[in-house]
């Protein structure tokens, strides 16, 4: 495995610029725009073609670097509506991934055919997102990951094998983050599926809005420029805001 290109935290002007760009993009592209901003020496096309498991590992590392070690989220109980908070330790999630050492592809022989299936990439998901029917989109995705293109009897035979879907699910088990949430009010248990890309985009957008608010307040009081305030650490901005009683 080649060493990972250097990654820096998403802060200051880099955070603002990345969020501005990502805002107008397809939701599947937003996490990649954040990664590209934090890994300027990395080729964006290579990020598009990264298996989802590897993409999620990079996103978890970016999350830890930029926003701290614990993912915190909120959900409402579907039974009684009580708000629930949950936390997921990034280090634990990365350790679990490293321990399972999920393969990026699998090959097997079945029904007289040699089959090879690889993990999906963001490029695959984007191509299939344009397919209007969900069932057809799944078939297109499986066909792409099987390395078969045009629809033909042979393609249909391969895509429709039950083992293909089972192998696909196993290849992507690491990309599915599930937390079991137990409601403190009515004890109802619910499974919360966490999409790490969506999650980090929401956090980045929130951090960017907070930074803009800080810039606005500090610029009003001190007359400092936007780049100067954006370059300050969050701790230093907080210290000045505290002095202002903001
Ligand atoms: Zn409840």
Q: What is the pLDDT of residues 117-147, one digit of tens each?
A: 999 999 999 999 888 888 888 888 999 999 8
Residues with CB under 5 A from ligand 1 (ion): 77, 79-80, 82, 183, 185-186, 188
> 69 alpha carbon to ligand 1 midpoint, in Å?
28
> 185 alpha carbon to ligand 1 midpoint, in Å?
5
> 178 alpha carbon to ligand 1 midpoint, in Å?
18
Contacts of 172 by beta carbon, 8 Å cutoff, 6+ apart:
52, 53, 119, 120
CA atoms within 13 A on the CB side of 242: 6
> 199 alpha carbon to ligand 1 midpoint, in Å?
23
> 188 alpha carbon to ligand 1 midpoint, in Å?
5
> 189 alpha carbon to ligand 1 midpoint, in Å?
8
> 80 alpha carbon to ligand 1 midpoint, in Å?
4
pLDDT in tens, 32-68: 999 999 999 989 999 999 999 899 999 999 999 999 9
Q: How far apart are CA 223 and CA 119, in angstroms?
A: 51
For the record, the structure tokens of 122 come out as 């963001």
Q: State if pTM tops 0.85.
A: yes
pLDDT at 208: 97
60 vs 150: which has the higher pLDDT: 60
> 146 alpha carbon to ligand 1 midpoint, in Å?
42
pLDDT at 213: 97
Q: How far apart are CA 25 and CA 163, in angstroms?
A: 35
> 75 alpha carbon to ligand 1 midpoint, in Å?
11
> 198 alpha carbon to ligand 1 midpoint, in Å?
25
| Mean pLDDT of the 67-76 span | 86
Chain length of the chain:
246
Q: Facing residues of 181 across strands?
A: 190
> 197 alpha carbon to ligand 1 midpoint, in Å?
27
Question: What confidence category does residue 11 fall into, taking pLDDT thresholds of 50, 70 and 90?
Answer: very high
Give the whole-number percent of the chain exceeding pLDDT 70.
96
> 52 alpha carbon to ligand 1 midpoint, in Å?
33
Cα–Cα distances in angstroms (integers) from residue 230 to residues 16, 63, 219, 242, in the given order: 9, 19, 11, 17
> 183 alpha carbon to ligand 1 midpoint, in Å?
5
For 98, phi then psi, to 5°, come to -65, -35
Q: How would DSSP label each residue in 64-112?
A: HHHH-SEEEEEEE-TTT--EEEEEEEHHHHHHHHHHHT--SEEEEEETT
Give me the helices (H) in 132-233, please. 134-146, 153-159, 162-171, 196-222, 226-230
Q: Contact, 108 vs 164, CB < 8 A?
A: no
> 77 alpha carbon to ligand 1 midpoint, in Å?
5
Q: Tell me the three state secondary structure of residue 140.
A: helix
> 83 alpha carbon to ligand 1 midpoint, in Å?
8
């Amino acid at each position: 495995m080649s060493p990972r290109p250097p990654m820096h935290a998403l802060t200051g002007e880099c955070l603002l610029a990345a969020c501005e760009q990502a805002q107008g993009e397809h939701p599947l592209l937003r996490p990649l725009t954040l990664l590209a901003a934090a890994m300027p020496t990395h080729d964006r096309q290579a990020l598009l073609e990264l298996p989802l498991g590897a993409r999620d590992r990079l996103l978890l590392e970016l999350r830890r670097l930029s926003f701290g070690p614990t993912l915190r989220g909120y959900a409402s109980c579907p039974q009684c509506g009580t708000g629930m908070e949950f936390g997921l330790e990034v280090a634990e999630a990365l350790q679990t991934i490293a321990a399972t050492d999920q393969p990026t592809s699998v090959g097997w022989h079945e029904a007289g055919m040699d089959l090879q299936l690889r993990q999906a990439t963001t490029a695959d998901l984007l191509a299939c997102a344009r397919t209007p029917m969900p069932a057809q989109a799944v078939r297109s995705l499986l066909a792409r990951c099987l390395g078969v293109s045009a629809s033909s009897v042979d393609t249909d035979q391969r895509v429709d094998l039950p083992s293909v879907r089972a192998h696909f699910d196993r290849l992507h088990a690491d990309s599915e983050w599930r937390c079991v949430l137990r409601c403190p009010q009515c004890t109802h248990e619910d499974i919360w599926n966490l999409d790490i890309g969506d999650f980090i985009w929401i956090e980045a957008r929130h951090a960017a809005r907070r930074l803009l608010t800080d810039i606005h307040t500090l610029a009003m009081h001190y007359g400092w420029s936007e780049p100067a305030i954006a370059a300050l650490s969050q701790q230093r901005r907080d210290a000045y805001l505290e002095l202002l009683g903001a």
